[in-house]
Copies of this chain bind each other. A is one copy, B any other.
Amino acid sequence: MSTICGPAERTVNILLFSPEERIAGSARIRLSGTRARHLRDVFGATPGKQLRAGEIGGDIGEATLESLDSDSVTLHFRAQHAPPAKRPLTVVLALPRPKMLRRMLRTVAETGVRDLHLVNARRVEKSYWQSGLLDTATLEQYLLSGLEQSIDSVLPALQVHRGFRPFAEDHLPALARGRRALLAHPAATRPCPADGDTETLLMIGPEGGFIDYEASLALRAGLLPVSLGSRILRAETALTALLGRFLVAPR
């Protein structure tokens, strides 16, 4: 089944649809808007065409295009298998600037992170929180573009915390309990571990890092400071490089 080439920067290896796009709960789905136009105009799909497809939150399978008109596309979906397993990873991420947020959320979904917490921090600019990008639909679009890349149909569970201290004091200790919990910290001397089958929480600061007070609250919550070397990396690079250490199970 061919890759569905997406807009610039976006590879779509699976056509994802929501349960509401099923026609009366049947195996037939109707898409409208961008995806319908894209299938018709860019991908050049015609009736009979088969595509890899997946229901958001559900199974992955094959969709056969039945009909298309100027507004919509109707397909028949046949579920074939469960989505790929998530990595046993919980990521706590200081809210990045809007442009990085899009790519970082895509990377989180693409690499199979199971749980994501976006948190405030002192060095997160206040304007990032006022950004129109933070509504749920937009955040989900970013995550979906990651799923479309790595052929997954299940969104990471996302929680947003606008106060650092309430998060660090009221939520983080429970999140850290019973799992390996790591704080990425440039000053740490312990190298970040690298193995993929241990239930892990990974906390990553904003550009410029967490301030000492924030780091101390994280340590008090049970996190262990770990390092990825002494270079100052962009938050985006640090996130992906850290995730790389947890993508593969040891032999």
Distance (whole angstroms) from the CB of A233 to the closest CB of chain B: 6
Known pairs A196-B229, A251-B191; A234 contacts B149 (CB<8 A): yes
Tell whether A211 is near chain B: CB-to-CB under 8 Å: no
Dominant secondary structure at the A interface: loop
- Inter-chain CA distance A248–B245, complex, in Å, is 10
For chain A, residues 188 to 236, give those with C-beta under 8 angstroms from any C-beta of chain B. 190-192, 194, 196, 207-208, 227-234
Return the contact of A248 from the options B111, B229, B233 (Cβ within 8 A): B229
Residue from A99, A107, A248, A249 having most chain B Cβ neighbours under 10 A? A248
Return the contact of A227 from the options B3, B233, B248 (Cβ within 8 A): B248
Distance (whole angstroms) from the CB of A94 to the closest CB of chain B: 15
Nearest-neighbor residue (CB-CB) of A235 within chain B: B11
Given contacts A11-B207, A240-B240, A243-B244, 11 further A-B contacts (CB under 8 A): A8-B99, A11-B234, A111-B237, A149-B234, A151-B232, A191-B196, A191-B250, A192-B248, A196-B229, A240-B244, A241-B243
